[in-house]
Structure 1
Amino acid sequence: MEEWRKVRLGDVCKTNTDSYSPKEKWDYVNYLDTGNITNNRIDSIQYIDIKNDKLPSRARRKVKTNSIVYSTVRPNQRHFGIIKDYPENFIVSTGFTVIDTDEAVLNANYLYYLLSQPTLVESLHAIAEQSTSAYPSIKASDIEDLELEIPDITIQEKIVDILGCLDAKITNNIEINDNLAA
């Protein structure tokens, strides 16, 4: 493990960098709330016609391709994922921490796999349970302060390729099972 090094996530990632402003005057938004994604599976995206409907106050965070969205409330419920495809005028809840990596150092998919590991989720949930709010929650700084061992970018990419193939097979099997059940 000579090629591995310890990094503080806040040194190789940016969190919550871009927000929607009403000054942008979008006619509509496609909105992802924290309860609508679990283990990188989006159940639904809410279409909101801003001209006729009120935009939820939490509908503010912008994402881009490879942004990781990680719910700050009850991490053990696993409301997180990595954004690959998204519709126009897409925003997510401020209940997420949006994490963007420095791709020269840390592959976003690799970080997503790390952040979704049960031991790390449990660690973040333990931090959440110590919060002073009415419910278990973490802050962006709790994620930024995580120190993780990472290999060089080439090894990260190889690991991501293998895990990505396994994820694709799992997704395919779920779709087959859903079709059989229907």
Structure 2
Amino acid sequence: MTDFNVAITLSTVLNMGKMSNFSGSAISQHVWCEPDQRSTGSLSVNLEWLMQQTRSGQNIHIVNNQKTAIEQKLDVIKSAFSMTEEDIAHSIGVGRKTLFNWKKQESNPNKEKVQAIFDLYILAKNWLDADFSTDAFDLEMPVLAGQSIKDMLQDPVLNSERILFAGNRLAHQALGEVGLF
């Protein structure tokens, strides 16, 4: 099961009695809960306690800090290639705002864009598994036919094999083995 934290925020607005109806003070209490081990994605919360809190006039807001699948994939891509959100959006062929809307689940990518994200994600995983450099300076240095890794990531058609070959070449250059190529 995926690890994630869930915070339940209990907010109580107390009416200050003799003051106007619009004044009062707010109290918030955060209660951390663990995922229920018996079922997927459930919270192990004492429901009896929760019902008492709601009967006492408290508003309960459940905040889930779990990242969406798209956010998780974008984080891997970012870390592997030292890319900004704008770089990733350009690689996928969308604007930064569109990428933001996907992350916040305000809209969904079409099949073509889902495939582009998945292809970049798989490339990033392979890049990290090969232990290639994630340093921004290295990734912007010309490696193959005058192109850097970042240049290749911006090409209209993603060529994963070429990028991984360039990553291998970059790794050998870092070892001082330029003469091999």
More strand per residue: 1 or 2? 1
**Does 1 or 2 have the higher relative contact order (CA < 8 Å, sep 6+)?**
1
Same fold (TM over 0.5): no
TM-score relative to the length of structure 2? 0.25
Q: Normalising by structure 1, what TM-score?
A: 0.25
Between structure 1 and structure 2, the one with the greater Rg is 2
Where is the helix percentage greater, Structure 1 or Structure 2?
A: 2
